Structure 1
Amino acid sequence: MTDAATRVARIREALAQAFAPEALEIKDDSHRHAGHAGAKDGRGHFKVRIVSAHFEGMSALQKHRAVYAALGDLMETDIHALQIDAKAPDHA
């Protein structure tokens, strides 16, 4: 597994464990940020689309905080930037 594939797998595992999502898409956009000052440390840029009942009744800020919490150390070791689209099933 490549480094990028390993990162995506680790992100997928953390989010699946925390939220038991109905849908989960993760896109590695790191290649689009090559040479970007913030990416020089080797961490990646990712987009996440997640649908989970866990997000029911949460504000956008609460959803983002929950995703960041679920990713834990990955936010410091593997992820430089994260675009999040988190929704409850009835809002997907």
Structure 2
Amino acid sequence: MTDILATIQTKLTLAFAPSLLSVEDESHQHAGHGGAAEHKAEFGDTPSHIHIRITAAALEDLSRLARHRAVMDTIVDEVKRLHAIRLTVND
């Protein structure tokens, strides 16, 4: 697991105490797509595309949009170094 993925996992664990949390690098599925070379030039081996799957009681009473905002607000610094995030929250 890369540093950014570990940081994201730690932040989400501390913020939401999830019953399920998965942070996966999906960059290999997008190799050669537009922007891949630019991302590598700017951020090196930092993943460009990730999938976050999280289930947490702390997010249950929120609307879908509020859940997504809560997760994204928690990892705002890391988001700046990613090209795309696929997010599955309490689904």
Query: Structure 2 length as normaliser, TM-score?
Result: 0.80
Distance across 1 between alignment mates of 2:63 and 2:75: 19
Distance across 2 between alignment mates of 1:66 and 1:20: 13
How large is the Cα RMSD of the aligned pairs?
A: 1.6
Task: Name the amino acid aligned to 1:61.
Answer: L
Percent identical residues: 37
Equivalenced residues, count: 84
2:32 paired with 1:35: yes
2:79 paired with 1:70: no
Unaligned 5+ runs, structure 2:
41-46
Query: Structure 1 length as normaliser, TM-score?
Result: 0.80
Runs of 4+ in 1 over 4 A off after TM superposition: none
Unaligned 5+ runs, structure 1:
none
Q: What pairs with 1:13-92 in structure 2 (closer than 5 Å)?
A: 13-39=10-36, 40-42=38-40, 43-77=47-81, 79-87=82-90
Provide Cα deviations, 1:9-53, integer angstroms capped at 9, x if missing partner: 111011111111111011110111112223332351011111111
Local SS of the residue matching 1:73: helix
Q: Which has the higher strand share?
A: 1
Distance across 1 between alignment mates of 2:68 and 2:26: 19
Distance across 2 between alignment mates of 1:49 and 1:57: 17
Distance across 1 between alignment mates of 2:64 and 2:75: 17
